[in-house]
Amino acid sequence: MTTALVTGGTSGIGLAFARRFAAEGRDLVLVARDRDRLAAVAGDLIDRHGVGVEVLVADLSARDQLQSVADRLGDASRPVDLLVNNAGFGLKRRFVEGELAAEEQMFDVLCRAVLVLSHAGAQAMIRRGSGAIVNVSSVAGFTAGGSYAAAKAWVTTFTEGLACELRGTGVTATALCPGFVRTEMHQRADMTMRSIPARAWLDADELVAAAMADVRRGRVISVPTVRYKVAALLARKGPRAVVRRVTGSRPRSRH
Ligand SMILES: NC(=O)c1ccc[n+]([C@@H]2O[C@H](COP(=O)([O-])OP(=O)(O)OC[C@H]3O[C@@H](n4cnc5c(N)ncnc54)[C@H](OP(=O)(O)O)[C@@H]3O)[C@@H](O)[C@H]2O)c1
């Protein structure tokens, strides 16, 4: 029996990972802030699949709570074989106009938590000679889409470097770069997504199935679906001035 730790495992992409791992018979450690929701998801997965589910209530933007999750990853008596750094959120406001505190909180969850948990997870996995780390990034990381995109660019580059360091250890690292996925993320951020065509949206379960196929192949960057592979290629290889014009914030109209 193997164990997977999923941050943000109560909703959206994280919940899809948790459901898939439970269906495969893996035990789970789920991390999120909402205690009642964690308990409800854990109860459901235990009932459906008979796996062990441990819950850790932690706000990953708080250093002490993040450290408690890192300590769990480092506990040699309860090894974690698969780490999915997934928890995250977006902000509706433009960077300059928004509150810096909210930006710092997003940076801490999207980047610092990934840094700290990858460190703890990789060290423990290397000692055992096996394991996999999946860091949920985004195709936004190839664009000029503000501080969220910058954080995801960091996640992708960081994961590439980690994967290089891990070569020959039996441990892999994969940056999962989805396009738009139907989850609670945009609603939580009060973002209106009406302009996004229906065909652009991905299903979280299908996304996770494709991601885990890439993890098994040892892929370092996973961009599920042909349409987002093409979008990522254009954003990565296209002239940056064009990428900025298409994906960057519009200048504020002056009256
Ligand atoms: N949806 C998309 O279109 C999309 C596209 C590309 C990448 N992504 C990335 O996918 C990841 C998952 O997002 P999602 O779309 O599945 O969002 P979601 O449905 O809103 O789920 C977010 C999860 O993260 C947890 N979380 C949020 N802030 C947290 C914090 N401070 N500490 C601990 N847990 C926290 C939430 O639980 P609590 O609220 O209980 O803490 C929840 O379980 C994110 O990294 C996001 O950037 C999403």
What are the tens digits of pLDDT across the range 171-189? 999 999 999 999 999 999 9
DSSP codes joined into one string, 11-40: SHHHHHHHHHHHHTT-EEEEEES-HHHHHH
Would you state the pLDDT for residue 253? 62
C-alpha dihedral, 64 to 65 to 71 to 72, nearest 10°? 170
Q: Does residue 1 surpass a pLDDT of 80?
A: no
Residue 90 burial (C-beta neighbours within 10 Å; 0-12, 13-18, 19+): buried
Task: Bin 58: left if φ > 0, else alpha if -120 < ψ < 50, else beta.
Answer: beta
For ligand 1, atom 21, name the residue with the nearest CA.
11
Which of 29, 111, 181 should be mutated for ligand 1, with most atoms under 8 A from CB?
181
DSSP letter (8 states) at residue 76: T
Question: Percent of the chain having pLDDT more than 70?
Answer: 98
Average pLDDT, integer, range 88-101: 94
Each residue's pLDDT tens digit, 141-168:
999 999 999 999 999 999 999 999 999 9
pLDDT of residue 250: 77
CA dist 115 and 138 (Å) reads 16
Q: Read off the pLDDT of residues 44-61 as tens digits, 9 standing for 90 and up.
A: 999 999 999 999 999 999
Q: What's the pLDDT score for residue 254?
A: 57
Tell whether pTM > 0.95: yes
Question: Long-range CB contacts (< 8 A, 24+ apart) of 123-129?
Answer: 123/74, 124/73, 124/74, 124/75, 124/76, 124/79, 124/80, 125/80, 125/81, 125/83, 125/169, 125/170, 125/171, 126/166, 126/169, 126/170, 126/171, 127/76, 128/79, 128/170, 129/169, 129/170, 129/171
239 C-alpha to ligand 1 centroid (Å):
31
Summarised one tens digit per residue, pLDDT across range 2-46 is 999 999 999 999 999 999 999 999 999 999 999 999 999 999 999
CA-nearest residue, atom 34 of ligand 1? 32
User: pLDDT per residue over 201-251, tens digit each?
Assistant: 999 999 999 999 999 999 999 999 999 999 999 999 999 999 999 999 877
- Candidates 116, 220, 224; CA nearest to 173 is 220
Residue with tokens 């860091």, as numbered in its chain: 135
Q: Quote the pLDDT of residue 114.
A: 99
Mean pLDDT across the chain: 96
